[in-house]
Amino acid sequence: MALTFRIIVTVAVLGLALACTNDTDCTLSGECVDGQCHCRLPWTGDDCGVLKFGPSVEPAAYGYDPNVTSWGGNIIEYNSMYHLYVTQIVNCGLKSWQHNSEVAHATSATIDGPYIRQDTALPIQAHNPEMVLGRNSTNGTMFILFHIFSATGEAPAPCVNSSEPTPASNGATIHMSYSPEGPWQPFTLNIGCNNPAPMQHPNGTWYVVCNTRNFVLYRADAFSGPYVEVAEFPGRPPLTGVWEDPFLYLDTVGNWHVIAHSWDHTIKTNCNASNVSGHFFSADGMNWESTRTPPYGHEVTFTDGSTKIFSTVERPKMYLNATGFPTHMTFGVDPHAECGQYCSSCKTTEGFDDTYTLLRPLSIDS
C-alpha cells in the first residue's frame, strides 16, 4: 500500500525576497546559496517556481491554420524530423471531445513548425496523447503512445455537449509501434488511469502519474505493465483550485517534476488573474512537495510583439532535447479571454470551443 506524504508549501511573501534554507525552498529547480535561490533555466523567480518563456510563433502548432479544433499533444524528435501527436476533434468544436476525438500525427522540419498533418495515428475515440520514445536493447526504438479511451475506430458522432455520457471505450490505453507512422499495437493498462503522464527512467524503469485520487505515481518494468502504486501525492495546496493534466519529467540533475493544469472553478471574469498552472517536485519520486507559485499564466507574447490572453491554458507537455533539457512546451488553449462561464469551461461552451494547440519556447538564455 502506498504511503501518503505530508505536503510542504513554499510561499513567497509579496514584496520581499524569499530566503531559502535548502534546495527544496527553490522548488528543486535551483540551488540555495547564501540564503538565496540560484535558478536553473528555464526556471526563474524568487523560489525558482516560474517558467521563463520566449515569444511564441503564430500560427500555433496545430489547429489554427488550417482551422481545426485540437486540444494539446506532445512533440518528439526522430531522424531529424519533429513529430507532433495531437488531439483533433473531428467535424466539431471541443464540446464534442468525449465522442469525436482522434490522435493526429503531424510533422515539421523544425521544432517551431509549422506542423503538417500526415496521418491519423489513432482513430476515434482517442484523446490526450503523450508519446514516449522507448528504449529497448532487443527491439531498439519503440514509439509508445499513452492516451485515454481505446481508439476502437468508432464513427464520428453528431456534435454534442461534453455533458453527454462518455462512450463505452472510456479508460486509458497504450499503443506501440516501431515506426512513427504505425501500425499501432494496443496494450491495456492494468490500472485505472485518467490522463496518464508516462516517463521511462534512465535506468529503464517505467513510471506513470495518473489523476486518480490525488495524483498517484505507478511503476513497472515494462511500458505495458503491470504497474504498481509507489507514491500518492499530497493534497493540492490551498487556494490553487482543481489540479489535473499532469506531465512528469526528470530534470538534468535528477530531480522529479510534475507540471499540471491547476484552475479556480469559481471565476468567470478577468481570467488572466486566475490560476491556471501548478508544480509538484521531488528529489526521489517518493516524497512530493508543491509550491503555490504558478509556473505560468494565461498571457502569451508572440514574436511580432503582440500579446494574447487565453481563457484557459491546459494539457501542459514539455519537449526535452537529447540532453534532457526542456526547450518547448505545448498546451491546449482557448483563444477567448472570457466567455460568461467559468474560465476553464470556455473550451466546451458553444461558440467559444474553437480551441487549438499552442507551442511556447522556453527561454534558455540567462
pLDDT in tens, 339-349: 999 999 999 99
Q: How confident is the model at residue 18 (pLDDT cuts 50, 70, 90)?
A: low
Report how far residue 127's alpha carbon sits from residue 147's, in angstroms, rounded to the nearest whole number: 6
Does the pLDDT value for residue 176 go beyond 70? yes
What's the whole-number mean pLDDT along residues 7-33?
71
Q: Give the Cα separation of 271 and 312 in Å (integer).
A: 8
Q: Are 252 and 218 in contact (CB under 8 A)?
A: no
Q: Are the C-beta atoms of residues 240 and 278 closer than 8 Å to each other?
A: yes
Q: Render pLDDT for 61-94 as a digit per residue (tens, 0 to 9).
A: 899 888 899 999 999 999 999 999 999 999 999 9
pLDDT band at 170 (very low <50, low <70, confident <90, very high): low
**Residue-level pLDDT at 226:** 97
CA-CA distance, 268 to 243, in Å (whole number)? 18
Distance CA 303, CA 47 (A): 28
What pLDDT was estimated at residue 291? Answer: 87
Find the range with the poorest average confidence among 27-41, 161-175, 296-310.
Answer: 161-175
pLDDT tens digits, one per residue of 241-277: 889 999 999 999 999 999 999 988 888 999 998 999 9
Residue 166 has pLDDT above 70, yes or no: no
Is 5 a residue whose pLDDT tops 90? no
Q: How many other β-carbons are positioned within 10 Å of the β-carbon of residue 190? A: 13
According to the model, what pLDDT value does residue 164 have? Answer: 55
For 198-221, the pLDDT digits (tens) are: 999 999 999 999 998 899 999 999
d(CA 291, CA 49): 7
pLDDT attached to residue 266: 84
Per-residue pLDDT tens digits for 85-122: 999 999 999 999 999 999 999 999 999 999 999 999 99
Note the pLDDT of residue 6.
38
User: Would you state the cell numbers that stand for residue 278, as one nine-digit string?
Assistant: 501548478
